[in-house]
A and B are shown apart, each in its own frame.
Chain A
Amino acid sequence: MQNALIVTNLQKKYAHGPEALKDVSLTIPAGDFFALLGPNGAGKTTLIGIVTGLVTKTAGKVEVFGVDIDKEAERAREMIGLCGQEVNFDPFMKPLDIVVNQAGYYGIPRSVAIPRAKKLLEDLGLADKGDQIGFKLSGGMKRRLMIARALIHEPKFLILDEPTAGVDVELRRSMWDYLTTLTKQGITILLTTHYLEEAEQLAKHVAIINKGKIIASGTMDEILAMHDTSMPQNGYSGGKLEDVFIKLTSSGS
C-alpha cells in the first residue's frame, strides 16, 4: 500500500531558537485519517510547515506519495492541501474570490474554479457568504473558508492544523461529518488538534509528539490500550486518549 507521507529523521533547529524537531520519523498510509497530537510548542506546526514548504528543514527527508519534496517540490505541493492554524487569507477579499484565486495558484482556470468553489462553499455552509468581505465572517466561518480553500485543487493529502480551534460544538460536529466524508472519498487527512475527543472520534492512527520527538505512535486502539484505569485523575475526568496523552507528555519523555 502506498504511503501518503513518509518523514525520515527530520530535524529542525531554528536560528537563535530551539531545536523544534529531533530526528522525527513518521509514516501516514494513503487514505488514512491521522492525528498528530502534542502540547503547545511540541513541534506539530513545524513538521507541517516543512511538509508544505513554509519551513526549511535542517536535516532529514520528506516524501509525499513517493515524491521527495527537495527534488520535486512543485509536484509534491500539487498533492497537498493546507488549512493552517492561523487565519491567513486577505481579509478584504470575498470568500468566493479567495477560493478561486487559490485555484489559480495551482493553474486551474477560472471557468473550472468558480463552479468548484461555489460547490465547496455550499458544502461547507458558506453558500450565502460568497460575496461578504472576509473579515466580517465569524470565527467558525473563517475556519470553514480555509478548508474550502485547501480543497479547491482537489488534493490527495489534506493537512488540517487545529481546524476546529474556537469553533462551537455543533459546528465542530458538522465539520467532523464533512471530514469523514472526505476520507471516504480517498483523501488522506493529517489532523492536529487540542480537542482529544475529536482525534479519538476521527483518527485511525495517532502519533504523539513532545519536545520535538515522537513519543508514541500506532493505531488508535493501540494508543488507547495504553490507558491505565488506575491513573490518578486529579479530580478531572477526560476521555481515554486524554488520559494517555497526559501520562505520556507529563512523564518527561
Chain B
Amino acid sequence: MSLKKKQFISFYTILRKGIVRIMRIWSQTLLPSVVTSVLYFAVFGNILGSRIGELNGVPYILFVVPGLVMLAVITNSFTDVATTFFISKFFSRNIDEILVSPTPPWIIIAGFVASGVARGMLVGVLVLIVSLFFALPAIAHPFVVFLFLFLSSLVFALLGLVNGIYAKSFDGISIIPTFVLTPLVYLGGVFYSIHSLPPLWQNVSLINPIFYLINGFRYGFLGTADVSLFICILVLFSLASILLLVNLYFLRSGLGLRQ
C-alpha cells in the first residue's frame, strides 16, 4: 500500500473518531449553541430588534443573523479541538496511541482540525436553519457564505489545537475562550456596525481579526460590509497560515506532548 494511502487512512481515522464523538454526545456538542441562538434571536432579533429598526439598511434581525451564526461557528470549532486534544493528552493520555504510530504531525493536525471544522460548520448550518423561524435572511453570495463558514471554522479549529497542545491545565483551555475569544467576538461587530462607533473605536476594531471574519460572512448575506471582502479573506488566510505553522512547530518539537 502506498504511503499516501496509509496517511489518508490515518487522517480518516482521526476525523472519523472526532465526528463519531460529536454525534455521540450531540446534546453537549450541537444542541447548546442552537438553544443559545434561539434565545439570541428572540431577545436581540425580535424583542430589542423591533425597537432598533434598521441597521446598514436592513432590519436588525437580518443584520444580526450572520454575526450569531459566526459566534456559534467560532466557539464550536475552537472548543471541539481544544478540549478533545487536551483531554486526550492530559486525562486519558490516549494521544499516545497516535504519537507511537507512524502518523506524521501534519496528518495529526489535519485530522483534529477537520473534526473541528466539521463541528463548526454543522453547528453554523443548524443555527442558520433556526434563524429561519425568526427571519428569512436572503443570501446575496452563497459561495462567500460557504467560504467564510469554512475559513472561520478552519482558523478557530487551528487556534483550538494550539491551545489544546500548549495548555497545561484545564484553566489553560478556559482562559482563552473566556478572556480572549468572547470579548473579541462581542467587539467584532456581531451586534453592531463599526460605523456606529466613535472614530477611535472604529480604528481599534480594525485590529480585531474577528471583525474581518464577521464582515466577510455578513457580506455573503447582505451584499454589503464595513471593509473590502478581499481584505477579509487575506486576514483569514494569513491567520490560518500562521496558526498552521505554530501547530507544526509544536508537534514536531513535541512541546507539551513528549517529555
Contacts and interface: CB of A to CB of B under 8 A. Distances in A.
B96 A77 contact: no
A101 B101 contact: no
A184 to B, nearest CB: 25
A49 B259 CA distance: 9
Contacts of A90: 88, 92, 94
A106 B101 contact: yes
Contacts of A101: 13, 17, 97
B104 A74 contact: yes
Nearest to B1: A107
Q: Is the interface of A mostly helix, strand, loop or mixed?
A: loop
Nearest to A81: B100
B29 interface: no
Contact of B92 (A53, A54, A88): A88
A105 B13 contact: yes
A149 B100 contact: no
Interface string B57-97: 00000000000000000000000000000001000111011
A197 B16 CA distance: 43
A197 to B, nearest CB: 29
A19 to B, nearest CB: 14
B73 to A, nearest CB: 26
B223 interface: no
A56 B254 CA distance: 8
A73 to B, nearest CB: 8
B258 interface: yes
Given A55-B258, A105-B13, A107-B6, A149 B97 contact: yes
Nearest to A90: B94
A206 B64 CA distance: 70
Interface residues of B, number: 28
Given A14-B259, A104-B13, A107-B6, A52 B100 contact: yes
Contacts of A56: 254, 258-259
A69 to B, nearest CB: 12
A105 B94 contact: no
B216 to A, nearest CB: 36
B100 A54 contact: yes
Contact of A89 (B5, B10, B97, B103): B97
B259 A55 contact: yes
B27 to A, nearest CB: 14
Given A74-B102, A77-B101, A106-B6, A54 B96 contact: yes
B97 A105 contact: yes
B149 to A, nearest CB: 28
B92 A91 contact: yes
Contacts of A52: 100
B94 A54 contact: no
Contacts of B96: 54, 82, 84, 88
7 contacts: A49-B259, A54-B259, A74-B102, A80-B100, A82-B96, A88-B97, A101-B97
Please list the 5 inter-chain residue pairs (A to B) with the smallest Cβ-Cβ separation, ordered nearest first.
A107-B6, A104-B13, A105-B101, A74-B102, A88-B93
Given A86-B93, A105-B101, 9 more contacts: A49-B259, A75-B102, A77-B100, A92-B24, A104-B13, A104-B14, A105-B13, A105-B102, A107-B6
